[in-house]
Amino acid sequence: MEAAIPFRYHRMVQLTLTPIEARVLGALIEKEITTPEYYPLSLNALTNACNQKSNRDPVMQLEEHEIRKALNHLESQSLVRSIAESRATKFEHRLQDAFNFYRPEVAIVCELLLRGPQTPGELRTRASRMHPFEDLESVHSALQRLSKREPPLLMVLPRQSGMKEARYAHLMGDRTLASGALPEVRQEPGHPAGAKGESEKQHDIASLAHELDQLRAEVADLRAELTTFRKQFEP
């Protein structure tokens, strides 16, 4: 059993997040894990994170005033905290305080908030940047723990025709969205609501290619640092 992340208090809550609030909360969770050096986030950085085209479904084009409204509501629920700094106010999530998640659960919840309903296979692949899942069984274990919460935090959707795996959806927002319907928010031009099929596949491929390029760059940087480190000990 993996250790839970430390927390201040644990309360049973039934969240009813709007699509924008879910995007804001998911973006804060993601950036805390993937780019901790830039976390907490300023309003501008958070807006960019919510509107980025990779690892998001649907792609949104939100304004700062919409992000601020979502932050105010999340802060009233003790799910977000603002931190006053010398240059700008920054924001951090407090989801862990409310739920005391295990680390695999945090990664899965984050992906469901950012991308909507997904299969266990998709979750394993996409959430691996935040937590390395050894196999599908470890994903299923985390999903089972989340579904057994009181109240439950996710549900299994009816299996779609032609799909081998059922999809899972979070229950932290409007229950009508759990079916996978796209939220009523302004979409990024070129990504109309309901546009599925080949265009979505191409978007996923482009996102994966971008992530691969980033990984290759990181590996190249690590190799360069290792070479420099070794030279320090050469005679």
Rounded mean pLDDT for each run of 10 residues along the chain, 235 residues in total: 42 78 98 97 97 96 97 96 90 94 96 97 96 96 95 92 90 64 49 48 57 64 69 67
What is residue 116's predicted lDDT score, i.e. its pLDDT?
96
Strands 41-42 vs 89-93: parallel, antiparallel or unpaired: antiparallel
What is residue 181's predicted lDDT score, i.e. its pLDDT?
47
What is residue 186's predicted lDDT score, i.e. its pLDDT?
53
When the candidates are 1.10.10.10, 1.20.120.430, 3.90.245.10, 1.20.120.1200, the CATH number that belongs to 19-192 is 1.10.10.10
Look up residue 175 and give its amino acid: R
What is residue 3's predicted lDDT score, i.e. its pLDDT?
46
Residue 112 has phi, psi (to 5 degrees) of: -65, -35
Domain boundaries, the chain: 19-192, 196-235
